[in-house]
Structure 1
Amino acid sequence: MAPSIETQLRQRAGDLGFCELRITGSTLPAETGHRLREAVGDGFHAGMEWLETTLDRRSSPDAMWEGARSCIMLAMSYTPEVDVMARLQDRSTGVISTYALGRDYHDVIKGRLKTLAGWLAAQTAQDVKVFVDTAPLMEKPLAHRAGLGWQGKHTNLVSREHGSWFFLGAILSAAELTYDEAEVDHCGSCTSCLDVCPTRAFPAPYRLDAGRCISYLTIEHKGHIEPEFREAMGNRIYGCDDCLAVCPWNKFAGAAREAKLAAREDLVSPPLADLAALDDQGFRTLFSGSPVKRIGRDRFVRNVMIAVGNSGDVNLIPCAEKLLDDASAEVRAMAIWALSRLLSQGRFAQLAAARRNGEPDQDVRREWDV
């Protein structure tokens, strides 16, 4: 007797580098959409307007595609080989989130999903669609219902077998497949992820205020970063892993299998001095094929300047001084803030007196008034 199509899917997914595959329906309960609306209503989506504009389609997969009958959720591990929290100690280097230390996961996973989805379409003669964090699809609630894991108190997915270190991909199919059982919550009384957050971004368990999250601030947020968050950012220059790294379930996470997702040595602990010197071409070259590339040089160097200000390293003063005339207002502003932290009070006052009135941007001028 031939193995079921679900069994064959799992076998093929494993051959393609996925560590888990589970199947659920194409609908989400109304409560899931209500929680998202509540978060948006509370302003927890911060500047991510696309969350608000796609609320209706995002509420359930069948609202986005009426023909969907089954949702296949897949996981690909990126368990780090480096000590995630230890990297925060060397303040003269920058910390890039673990998921972004290798190739862009969108590029790695999407091709594999298309291969698997193409096989499924041929076997079932039904339409398929693939998604990797690029459509109004609530992957984490779907993965929860499919049995891949559960949404922890930090709102990220947690697995008993893979901890927190894995990417999600989804295939929607018009075929009726056999569903797996949903996972249950295993967080218990643990609050490690909530307690470790540097900016107190969790107003309550299972609720995230994105506007306070370092991952949002360093990646999605455009413009100036408010002073209340800068010191807490430390040397995190792209994303934040703290709430993931402290999860006790990570002790069960197996090693990552996909070589393309392995950390690049030059990105594990890059010197802030080197990063501060990046122009647009240098930034594009360094982060070619990396998810970091999408935020652009100016936003990235803005983050680097905050890390420079938190470094306590006076040897980095020239790096900030060179950026006082940068074309980007956000970079200039954070260069001023960095110097306010590294220079003596008298030296900073002299510099402010010499340069403040020549600054064309009002928001940047305010940075001299400390």
Structure 2
Amino acid sequence: MSQPLDYYQLAQDIKRWGAELGFQQVGITDTDLSASEAQLQAWLDNQYHGEMAWMARHGMLRARPHELHPGTLRVITVRMNYLPAKARFAAVLKDPHKGYVSRYALGRDYHKLMRNRLKQLGERLQQHCVALNFRPFVDSAPVLERPLAARAGLGWTGKHSLILNQEAGSFFFLGELLVDLPLPVDTPAQEQCGKCVACMTICPTGAIVAPYTVDARRCISYLTIELEGAIPEEFRPLIGNRIYGCDDCQLICPWNRFSQLTDEADFAPRQPLHAPQLTELFAWSEAQFLHITQGSAIRRIGHLRWLRNIAVAMGNAPWDEAIFNALQQRLGEDPMLDEHIHWALARQRAHREALGTEVQPAQKQRLVRVVEKGLPRDA
């Protein structure tokens, strides 16, 4: 006759196995997210999810893991650091001729890596159970991962809506393993933001409309990644040189003084994305884009939106003849892209005029070609 499971010891083993698999922290919680349902419904009612229809489509299922995966009793939540050494935040953000990529996307896409590790954790756990039903998730299902992480003791929800950890800041990924075991649960962490509102005041577009509430429609990460069409003109100047995502609310957070660097080789920055010149990025063909972003989270937005984002950044750069020429050379490829290029060219002309730069004869010849492609004659 087999011995009954010692769930307390099993919980300790799970945390040890998680560390061996490369997770920096493992926590366990139940499935009760009822306290988050009202906030979720209000967020949806306010249309803060923008064009992310899947957020509304699943409704309250996001707050009910036991309905998402029937039989679930506990959620094993993990975090994995992603901040690379020499992230070069300031060096890129302060140089308007370079394109800034959110640091989580500099290396390999974390989804597959973490899901495979979670699957390995589930399989290892399965070896110690007579029967186990488990399912791993990494930002791949309608589940409120941040409230789950907070309940599992991985940190507290900051006013920017991200999870903050007292010893690790916020530069980490989250993942979940749903299991049907009555494991002991961990104690939630205490909220420690206090009166600090640095993340709310630093946000370039004012996307953090209230503590713990982000209007995705204003968020640069949403505008450069999730939004499929044209970026609203009111936000374009505020985006600066951020071409994929934004880290401002994390960079300003005092708790990120304690951020831990990753030792995962897959998260190491890809050289073409680390501190790239905008003109170089804008010259990529679709084939180059697909090759360089293979296995990267960036690939999901496609070449067209990639060019759209870069065009906006180029419009925000100071007057630069190389940028002006690069922009005009891509006119006519796509109507949506053309809209952003025309906007960027108009911005470049304004920057040039503000400097009192005289247009030389050689430049005038180039401007003629731009006019022939449809730009206003006052170019």
TM-score in terms of structure 1 length: 0.92
Code of the residue aligned with 2:338 in structure 1: it is R
Counterpart selection for 2:71 from 67, 71, 77: 67
CA distance in 2, matches of 1:63, 1:72: 16
Q: Is the 8 A contact 1:236 1:307 kept in 2?
A: yes
Matches within 5 A, 1:99-138: 99-124=104-129, 125-138=131-144
Find out whether 1:296 has 2:263 as its counterpart. no
Matches within 5 A, 1:206-225: 206-225=212-231
Counterpart selection for 1:51 from 52, 55, 66: 55
1:257 deviates by 2.2
Matches within 5 A, 1:267-346: 267-312=273-318, 313-326=320-333, 328-343=334-349
Q: Is the 8 A contact 1:56 1:63 kept in 2?
A: no
Greater CA drift, 190-199 or 85-94: 85-94
Find out whether 1:145 has 2:151 as its counterpart. yes
Code of the residue aligned with 2:190 in structure 1: it is V
**Cα deviation per residue 1:319-360 (whole Å; 9 max; x = unaligned)?**
10111111x22221111111111136797997786444xxxx
Could you tell me which runs of 5 or more consecutive residues in structure 1 were left unpaired when the two chains were aligned: 357-364
1:241 deviates by 0.4
Find out whether 1:8 has 2:19 as its counterpart. no
Give the structure 1 partner of residue 3 of structure 2: none
1:28 deviates by 1.1
Give the structure 2 partner of residue 25 of structure 1: 30
Greater CA drift, 188-197 or 334-343: 334-343
Find out whether 1:38 has 2:42 as its counterpart. yes
Find out whether 1:180 has 2:186 as its counterpart. yes
Give the structure 2 partner of residue 191 of structure 1: 197
Rg larger in 1 or in 2?
A: 2
CA change 1:214–1:368 in 2 (3 A) is: farther
SS at 1:251 equivalent: helix
Code of the residue aligned with 1:121 in structure 2: it is Q
SS at 2:89 equivalent: coil
1:83 deviates by 3.4
1:255 deviates by 2.1
Give the structure 2 partner of residue 260 of structure 1: 266
CA distance in 1, matches of 2:367, 2:339: 16
Q: Is the 8 A contact 1:85 1:242 kept in 2?
A: no
Q: Is the 8 A contact 2:106 2:274 kept in 1?
A: yes
**Cα deviation per residue 1:37-60 (whole Å; 9 max; x = unaligned)?**
101100100110100000131122
CA distance in 2, matches of 1:159, 1:194: 18
CA distance in 2, matches of 1:101, 1:69: 36
Identity of aligned residues (%): 37
Taking only aligned residues, the RMSD between alpha carbons, in angstroms, comes to 2.1
Find out whether 1:156 has 2:162 as its counterpart. yes
Code of the residue aligned with 2:58 in structure 1: it is T
SS at 2:118 equivalent: helix
Find out whether 1:94 has 2:99 as its counterpart. yes
SS at 1:73 equivalent: strand
Q: Is the 8 A contact 1:96 1:236 kept in 2?
A: yes
Code of the residue aligned with 1:323 in structure 2: it is R
CA distance in 2, matches of 1:272, 1:255: 27
CA change 1:212–1:155 in 2 (3 A) is: same
CA distance in 2, matches of 1:41, 1:64: 22
CA change 1:278–1:266 in 2 (3 A) is: closer
**Cα deviation per residue 1:49-92 (whole Å; 9 max; x = unaligned)?**
10000013112211212200010000000123223244211111
CA distance in 2, matches of 1:76, 1:206: 22
Q: Is the 8 A contact 2:311 2:327 kept in 1?
A: yes
Q: Is the 8 A contact 1:78 1:256 kept in 2?
A: yes
CA change 1:324–1:148 in 2 (3 A) is: same
CA distance in 2, matches of 1:27, 1:63: 11
